[in-house]
Structure 1
Amino acid sequence: MAVSTVDKGRHEVMHAGHLWEIDESEGANAPLVVAEIKLKAVDELFEMPEWVGDEVSENSAYTNSLLGLKPFLQW
């Protein structure tokens, strides 16, 4: 199976003193949007914004490498 590129736009949002990176997928992975918070430590407390949905950190299907193999629209 051929690997394709994962097209996305990225922007940053500050919320409650923490930086969030927001990836908005395009093409075969649209309308997938993934938000990642930048923490100083794994046990750092933070406020979850109301616009954040399900936690997917441990789900490998959301990695760029697997999204290139099986895009979001094929799930």
Structure 2
Amino acid sequence: MTLDQLKIGASGTITSVGGDGPLRCRLLDMGLIPRTRVTLQKIAPMGDPIEIRVRGYELTLRVEEAEKIEVKEDA
């Protein structure tokens, strides 16, 4: 599943980060690297953007960016 498919309050572990060139580098620079745990905190009223908690801070991503991050949902 991708990061944008998590439910509010659900957590998962990043398995891979897709995207091309600068976008992928930016996502990795923000701490979104494989084996990192993330939690979906909020979804904006119109569905975009979403807020996640990663490495102790909140990060807001567009759904388009979140679709490029593969996660395995925690049981």
Q: Which has more radius of gyration? A: 1
TM over 0.5: no
Q: Whose relative contact order is higher, 1 or 2, with alpha carbons under 8 Å and at least 6 apart?
A: 2
TM-score with structure 2 setting the length: 0.30
TM-score with structure 1 setting the length: 0.30
